[in-house]
A and B are shown apart, each in its own frame.
Chain A
Amino acid sequence: MYKLLQIELYKIFRRPRTYIAFLAITALVGVIQLGLVKNGDDYVNFVMGNVMQSFSFDGKLLNGYLVCYILLQLLLVHVPLLIALVAADMISGEANMGTLRLMLTKPISRTQFLLAKFTASAIYTFMLLVWIAFLALFVSMFLFGVDDMVIQKTNYLVQLPVGDVFWRYVGAFGFALLSMLSVAALGFFLSNFAENSIGPIVATMSVIIFFTILSTMSIPLFQKIQPYLFTTYMVNWKEFFDPKVNADNAVIVGSLQHPDRIIQSALILVLHIVGFVGATMVLFKKKDILS
């Protein structure tokens, strides 16, 4: 199994397509950071204009932590598309190249083959998130410094003390990994049904876009089905930035307002991952390789 995993990773990282995602993330984060370096204060004034009329802030409102939060809100909608490029290609790409039949005439079981492939996709997803974390969090911390993090929620304002932010990012990125793995699992599942890469990549993107729209629109009809869409739970990384407050409305350091929501969402995402990968295995084990 370890040998197979090594081979799968070798194949992923020898393909030029793999690096599109890393380059796209680098370019996107770089451009946004450049914009914020140049005109960041204007941007903050624009976004938090109403709040700034009522409150006065000491310190750096635009700091590395806030920049990372802004970046994550933008990126975590688009990263699934980049993950689909690799995950949805895992089986269909082999079928398209004709290498699937050669692989499966080797003394490896189909279960091992699929597990190695999905694990390789998961490692790719993890590396992409590590890269995002490096650029969005660490580079932003370097460029903009750190201070208390002020976030405007729908009905209230959250001010997280500087010492209470980093662990929340660790949690948020961990949760984002689960979200992205569920996208990878969906791509992997759809990859089983096609003999070229384009179909499953487009299908994965379409499902994610369609479900995300349904998950985010506050229309009563959509709200009824939102609990059944896994995309509804993918954005719950934001719960890590919603702390409990005491009687004086001050943040209780190290607390979470809704840890139950995080746990429930994580479990639902894990179930989706297991479901998609399990279904792929059941179908693939019975599949006639005709490509």
Chain B
Amino acid sequence: MQSVIKVSNLTKQFKGLTAVNDLSFSVNKGDVYGFLGQNGAGKSTTIRMLLTLIAPTSGEIELFGMNIKTHRSEILRQVGAVVEKPDVYKYLSAYENVALFAKLSGVKVTDKLVMDQLAMVGLASRAKDTVKTFSQGMKQRLGIGIALVHNPQLIILDEPTNGLDPQGIADIRNLILSLSKEMGKTIVVSSHLLSEIEQVASRLLIIDKGKKLVEGNAHELFDPAQTIVEIETTDNLFALQQLQQSRWQSMLQPQRSHSILLKLHRNQIPSLHKNLVEMDVQVISLQPRHNLEDFFLQITSNNQHVQAFTN
């Protein structure tokens, strides 16, 4: 498999703070590579290093088999990116912004090129309007349109759904899938929301405090059979005592103040519910959790599992 990004032992320190710590990963051609981590985990710093906005303290970055330090321009010609907020020139129109950045990317600017790009992100009808009149979602789409205007092979989207409404999020998701499946682009998409990434990513990397936690294929990583269940009752202390004396004891997870967490097989959920009723526990809610925080709980509570993917 041809590697589009190869990062080796990447470290970035800011005045004593290690934002990225000995990070290594690779992205293959055609991947939709999910880059997950909580806010402050080091995702944006890593992405900025990939785009030469930040210089690494140590480590190597290769894109398309070329070193980013020595072949910067050649590499960036093949990369389109939206880094955090899609900020563009607010006093210019959508058309002018796309044309300006297309020119900067070395593309011959034609009316058709610009309008096609705006149509692709659903902004053709607002082409002549200044960006200051746009909503956050429209700016996000314009940012993506600009990132794609020079037909890059690698697309890097840093938190592309930030500030978007559900329809906007769905639009971005569909666009990512279409770019990957129909146009064969390699896409790196970062997010702190697992639910977003799992719907589009073929491979993913999870980092925390600048260090790699897990890297692997998404379908292997997200074992749908295993889940964390959060239970809220009228008396959590009583419920916890009951569970500790039952066959569920080994599945209990580090506790939170207002709920009880258990890690179990999805098929066991009806049985758990039945047992709770039998134990006279009054359940207010019982729901499988599916967010990054709980996923971290899962992977950090099972070293073997982490090890398998890390290797």
Contact = CB atoms under 8 A, between A and B. Distances in A.
Contact of B101 (A98, A101, A106): A106
A4 interface: yes
B222 interface: no
A58 B72 CA distance: 70
Contacts of A102: 83, 87-88, 101, 143, 146
Given A7-B103, A98-B87, A105-B83, A286 B55 contact: yes
B56 to A, nearest CB: 10
B152 to A, nearest CB: 10
A97 B87 contact: yes
Contacts, number: 75
Contacts of A104: 51-53
A2 B52 CA distance: 23
Given A105-B83, A106-B76, A106-B105, A11 B89 contact: yes
* Interface majority SS (helix, strand, loop, mixed), chain A: loop
Interface string B57-92: 000000000000000111011010101110111111
Contact of A105 (B76, B92, B100): B76
Given A14-B92, A290-B54, A106 B48 contact: no
B88 A108 contact: no
A216 to B, nearest CB: 38
Nearest to B87: A98
A59 interface: no
18 contacts: A3-B104, A14-B91, A16-B91, A97-B89, A98-B84, A98-B85, A101-B48, A102-B88, A102-B143, A104-B51, A104-B52, A105-B76, A105-B79, A105-B83, A106-B104, A107-B72, A107-B73, A109-B72
Contacts of B87: 97-99, 101-102
Q: Which of B14, B76, B104 has the most CB atoms of chain A within a 10 A radius of its CB? A: B104
A288 B104 contact: no
Interface of A: 3-4, 7, 10-11, 14-16, 97-99, 101-109, 286, 288-290
Interface residues of B, number: 32
A98 B89 CA distance: 9
B269 to A, nearest CB: 45
Contacts of A10: 100
Nearest to B93: A14
B51 A105 contact: yes
B224 interface: no
Given A98-B84, A104-B52, A107-B73, 13 more contacts: A3-B103, A7-B104, A11-B89, A14-B89, A97-B89, A97-B90, A101-B84, A104-B53, A105-B51, A105-B76, A108-B73, A109-B72, A288-B48
A4 B104 contact: yes
Contacts of B51: 101, 104-105
B83 A101 contact: yes
Nearest to A16: B91
Contact of A108 (B55, B91, B104): B104
B16 interface: no
